[in-house]
Amino acid sequence: MIDISHQQDQFEVVPTLVQPTLVEVLKSRVKADMAKEAQLPEVQTLSIDHMLQARLASFDPESDDVEAENAFYVADLGEVYRQHLRWKALLPRIEPFFAMKCNPDPMVMRLLASLGAGFDCASKNEIQSVLEMGVNPSRIIYANPCKQNSFVKYAYQNKVRMMTFDNAEELHKIKRFHPEAQLVLRILTDDSKSLCKLGLKFGAPLDTTAYLLATAQELGLDVIGVSFHVGSGCFDANAFGEAVIRARRVFDQAKDYGFTFNFLDVGGGFPSAHVTEGITFEKVAAILGSTVDALFGPEVRVIAEPGRYYVGSAFTLATQVIARRTIARDLSEVLTSEQSQNPSHMYYINDGMYGSFNCIMFDHQVCEPQVLLKAGEYAYQQETMDPLGLASVWGPTCDSIDCISPKASLPLMEAGDWLYFENMGAYTITAASQFNGFRKSEILYTTTEQEVSLHF
C-alpha cells in the first residue's frame, strides 16, 4: 500500500502562540534541532536599506578589525515568507518541496520547515540536514534520478521513501537497497525554453517509459507517479502546461502495468520574484494550475520543487571596491569610436566568480553592480548625479575568468567605495568556493515581515 498521508513533524511549532513573529518561529525551530549545535544568528527586523547602512556605518577603515571590510549579504527572510504566501494563494493545490541545492541557508531552511514546506534533496548530506531540523522523512523527496548506493541505503535507514528514477539500472539498485521506496518516474520534457537545460542529463524519453514501468513491475517495485523539470530559469510558461500533458500520458500508460498513479511532481523552474517581464509566477501558476486541475482528479497529490522562486530576490550582496586600475591610453591620439566605448577603469571587488558570482558561469546570470557607498555618501537605490563611465568589474582572485561585468556603467569609484548587487539568493553562495584563499561572504539576517501565519 502506498502511504502518502501527511504525517506530522516530530514536534509542533510554537503551539501556544496564535500569531507568532517570524523570529519566534525560527527560535522554536532551532530548539528542536536534533544536531543541537545550531545557534540562531541574530535576525533583525530592519529594512534592507537600514541593514546595509548600519553595517557600513559600523565599518571603520582605520580599525584593526580585518573582517569588517569583507563582502556581506543581507538576507530578508520576510521576502521568503511572502513568496510562500504567494505560492499558497496562486497554487493552493500544489505542495512546495524546496529544492535546497538552490540555497541551503540554515535560516531559510528553518523558516520553510516551520511553514510546512517539504524538501527536495539530492544527496545524503542534504537529507541529513533536513532530518536534523526535525522534519518528518515523509516531507522529503530524494529527487536525484542517479544515486550512489550508500545514499540509497541511508534513505532506507532513515525512512525517506519518495525518490525519482529515470533508467532501468537505477531500478535494480533500488530493488537491492530500498525495496519499499515510493518511486517517481522522471520524464523528459521540452527544456529548450530554459537557461539551464536539464534534459541532457536527466529524464526518461516517452518511448522508454513502457519499458521502465514493465521493469518496475517485474521487480515488484512501487511506482507512485511522475515527475519532470522544465529546466531552471524557464522563460516560457507554456512549457509547464505541455509537461503536465506528457505526464498525463504516462499516468494512463501505467495502468497497463498494474500501477495506479496518484502522485505528480511538477518540478522546479519557477521564476524568482524580481522577474516581472516575460515569464512571471502569475503566468506560470495560471497555466500550470488549470492544466493540472483539468487532467488530474483530486485523488492525485501534486507537489513541486521550487528553488529559485523562494530565494532569488531575498538576498542582497554588498562588496567593497578593493582596487581600481585605470587603463592608460595615449591621450595625444584622438580615440577611435571603438576605443572610446571600451571600459577605461577596471574595478576589483572582494567577491567574484569563484565565490558568489559563480552564478554567472553556472546559472547564466547577468549581475548588475550598483553604487552603495561612494566617497562616504550612502547611495542605496538612489540615482547618481555623477557622470557615468564605462568600466569593467572583476573579482579578487588571480584568474582572468573572474570577471563579473565586462561593461558596466558606473560613476568614478575609488578603492574603499562599495557596490551592491540585488537578487543574489539563488545558486550563489551554495556553490561558492574558497579558491585563492578568499572566503565566502558572510550573511546578515533581517525580516521585513513581523508576524507569520503557520496555518494555510
Ligand X SMILES: *Cc1c(COP(=O)(O)O)cnc(C)c1O
Applying CB under 6 A, which residues contact ligand X?
A: 99, 101-102, 120, 143, 229, 232, 267-270, 305-309
Q: How far is the CB of 310 from ligand X (least distance, A)?
A: 8
The least CB distance from residue 443 to ligand X, in Å, is: 19
Of 98 and 354, CB closest to ligand X: 98
Shortest reach from residue 427's CB to ligand X, in Å: 7
**CB of 24 vs ligand X, minimal distance in Å:** 29
Burial of 288 (0-12, 13-18, 19+ CB in 10 A): buried
The packing angle between helices 209-219 and 238-255, to 10°, is: 40
Q: How far is the CB of 12 from ligand X (least distance, A)?
A: 29
Of 104 and 307, nearer to ligand X (C-beta) is 307
Contacts 24+ apart (CB under 8 A), 83-92: 83/273, 83/309, 83/310, 83/313, 83/314, 84/112, 84/115, 84/117, 84/310, 86/273, 86/281, 87/306, 87/309, 88/456, 90/281, 90/282, 90/285, 90/289, 91/285, 91/288, 91/289, 91/304
Q: Is 398 a catalytic residue?
A: yes
Q: How far is the CB of 230 from ligand X (least distance, A)?
A: 9
Phi-psi region of 98 (alpha: psi -120 to 50; beta: other; left: phi over 0): beta
For ligand X, the closer CB: 79 or 120: 120
How do strand 345-349 and strand 442-446 relate by DSSP bridges? unpaired
If the CB atoms of residues 142 and 418 are measured against ligand X, the closer one turns out to be 142
Quick one: 184 or 419, whose CB is closer to ligand X?
184
Cite the beta strand spans of 203-246 per DSSP E: 222-227, 232-234
Rounded CA separation 368/139 (Å): 37
Instruction: Determine the 3-state secondary structure of 35 from DSSP.
Output: coil
Strand intervals (E) in 237-351: 263-265, 301-304, 315-326, 345-349
Closest CA to 371 of 54, 46, 56: 56
Q: Is 408 helix (H, G, I), strand (E, B) or coil?
A: strand
Residue for grid cell 522523512: 137
Nearer CB in complex with ligand X: 162/373? 162
Separation between Cα atoms, residue 321 and residue 307, nearest integer Å: 31
Pick the catalytic residue from 102, 359, 398, 403.
398
* Pairwise CA distance, residues 448 & 454, whole Å: 17
Using the minimum distance from each CB to ligand X, give the nearer residue, 227 or 446.
227
> Mind telling me the catalytic residues?
398
